Amino acid sequence: MQELKRTRLVELFHMPVKVLKNEGRELRIRVIDGNHTELQMFRSRLNDRDDVEYANYFQKHPDLDDPELYIRTAKGKKADKILKDICSEITKEFSNIKL
Protein backbone atom coordinates (compact mmCIF):
# COMPACT_ATOMS: atom_id res chain seq x y z
CA MET A 1 0.00 0.00 0.00
CA GLN A 2 1.41 3.34 -1.01
CA GLU A 3 1.93 5.81 1.81
CA LEU A 4 0.20 9.16 1.40
CA LYS A 5 2.54 12.09 1.13
CA ARG A 6 1.90 14.88 3.56
CA THR A 7 0.96 17.91 1.55
CA ARG A 8 0.01 21.37 2.59
CA LEU A 9 -3.63 21.69 1.62
CA VAL A 10 -3.11 25.27 0.47
CA GLU A 11 -0.87 24.06 -2.34
CA LEU A 12 -3.80 22.12 -3.77
CA PHE A 13 -5.92 25.23 -4.32
CA HIS A 14 -5.49 27.42 -7.35
CA MET A 15 -8.21 29.84 -8.39
CA PRO A 16 -7.54 31.80 -11.57
CA VAL A 17 -9.77 34.86 -11.84
CA LYS A 18 -10.60 37.51 -14.41
CA VAL A 19 -11.32 41.00 -13.09
CA LEU A 20 -14.50 42.31 -14.70
CA LYS A 21 -14.88 45.46 -12.60
CA ASN A 22 -12.60 47.04 -10.01
CA GLU A 23 -13.83 50.49 -9.06
CA GLY A 24 -12.88 51.14 -5.45
CA ARG A 25 -15.93 50.01 -3.47
CA GLU A 26 -17.09 47.56 -6.14
CA LEU A 27 -15.34 44.46 -7.41
CA ARG A 28 -16.66 41.83 -9.80
CA ILE A 29 -14.49 38.86 -10.73
CA ARG A 30 -15.05 35.74 -12.80
CA VAL A 31 -13.67 32.65 -11.06
CA ILE A 32 -12.42 30.26 -13.73
CA ASP A 33 -13.70 26.74 -12.99
CA GLY A 34 -15.07 27.96 -9.65
CA ASN A 35 -17.64 25.94 -7.76
CA HIS A 36 -20.41 26.64 -5.27
CA THR A 37 -18.41 25.39 -2.29
CA GLU A 38 -15.54 27.82 -2.84
CA LEU A 39 -17.74 30.76 -3.68
CA GLN A 40 -20.12 30.14 -0.79
CA MET A 41 -17.12 30.25 1.57
CA PHE A 42 -16.09 33.65 0.18
CA ARG A 43 -19.65 35.00 0.14
CA SER A 44 -20.28 33.96 3.71
CA ARG A 45 -17.04 35.41 5.06
CA LEU A 46 -17.45 38.64 3.14
CA ASN A 47 -21.01 39.19 4.36
CA ASP A 48 -19.90 38.57 7.97
CA ARG A 49 -17.69 41.67 7.81
CA ASP A 50 -18.96 45.08 8.88
CA ASP A 51 -17.05 46.81 6.07
CA VAL A 52 -18.91 44.86 3.35
CA GLU A 53 -22.37 46.10 2.34
CA TYR A 54 -23.11 43.26 -0.06
CA ALA A 55 -21.40 40.18 -1.46
CA ASN A 56 -22.81 37.40 -3.61
CA TYR A 57 -21.90 35.11 -6.45
CA PHE A 58 -23.78 34.40 -9.65
CA GLN A 59 -23.65 31.64 -12.21
CA LYS A 60 -25.69 31.84 -15.38
CA HIS A 61 -25.44 28.28 -16.67
CA PRO A 62 -23.68 25.69 -14.49
CA ASP A 63 -22.10 23.82 -17.40
CA LEU A 64 -21.36 26.71 -19.73
CA ASP A 65 -20.48 29.74 -17.62
CA ASP A 66 -17.90 30.39 -14.93
CA PRO A 67 -19.35 31.94 -11.77
CA GLU A 68 -18.82 35.57 -10.84
CA LEU A 69 -18.26 37.04 -7.38
CA TYR A 70 -19.51 40.57 -6.68
CA ILE A 71 -18.46 42.69 -3.69
CA ARG A 72 -19.64 46.15 -2.63
CA THR A 73 -17.97 47.64 0.43
CA ALA A 74 -18.82 50.39 2.89
CA LYS A 75 -17.82 53.91 1.96
CA GLY A 76 -14.07 54.45 2.20
CA LYS A 77 -13.17 50.74 1.94
CA LYS A 78 -11.54 49.09 -1.08
CA ALA A 79 -13.15 45.86 -2.26
CA ASP A 80 -9.95 44.37 -3.70
CA LYS A 81 -8.10 44.85 -0.40
CA ILE A 82 -10.91 43.20 1.55
CA LEU A 83 -10.92 40.23 -0.83
CA LYS A 84 -7.14 39.89 -0.45
CA ASP A 85 -7.56 39.97 3.34
CA ILE A 86 -10.16 37.19 3.15
CA CYS A 87 -7.82 35.13 0.94
CA SER A 88 -5.01 35.55 3.48
CA GLU A 89 -7.29 34.47 6.34
CA ILE A 90 -8.41 31.36 4.45
CA THR A 91 -4.83 30.51 3.48
CA LYS A 92 -3.73 30.71 7.12
CA GLU A 93 -6.59 28.47 8.23
CA PHE A 94 -5.92 25.83 5.60
CA SER A 95 -2.14 25.91 6.01
CA ASN A 96 -2.51 24.28 9.43
CA ILE A 97 -4.33 21.24 8.03
CA LYS A 98 -2.18 18.17 7.47
CA LEU A 99 -3.29 15.15 5.51
CATH number for the domain that contains residue 68: 3.30.1360.10
Domain assignment present for 34? yes
Domain assignment present for 26? yes
Nearest to 79 by CA among 23, 20, 16: 23
| pTM of this structure | 0.80
Nearest to 68 by CA among 14, 15, 13, 18: 18
| Domain extent for 30 | 14-95
- What pLDDT sits at residue 13? 59
Domain assignment present for 6? no
Domain assignment present for 3? no
Domain assignment present for 55? yes
Residue 6: what residue type? R
**Span 14-32, average pLDDT:** 93
The full 3-state SS of 11-68, as one line of letters, equals: HHCCCCEEEEEEECCEEEEEECCCCHHHHHHHHHHHHCCCCEEEEEEECCCCCCCCCE
Tally of domains within the chain: 1
Give the pLDDT band (50/70/90) at residue 41: very high
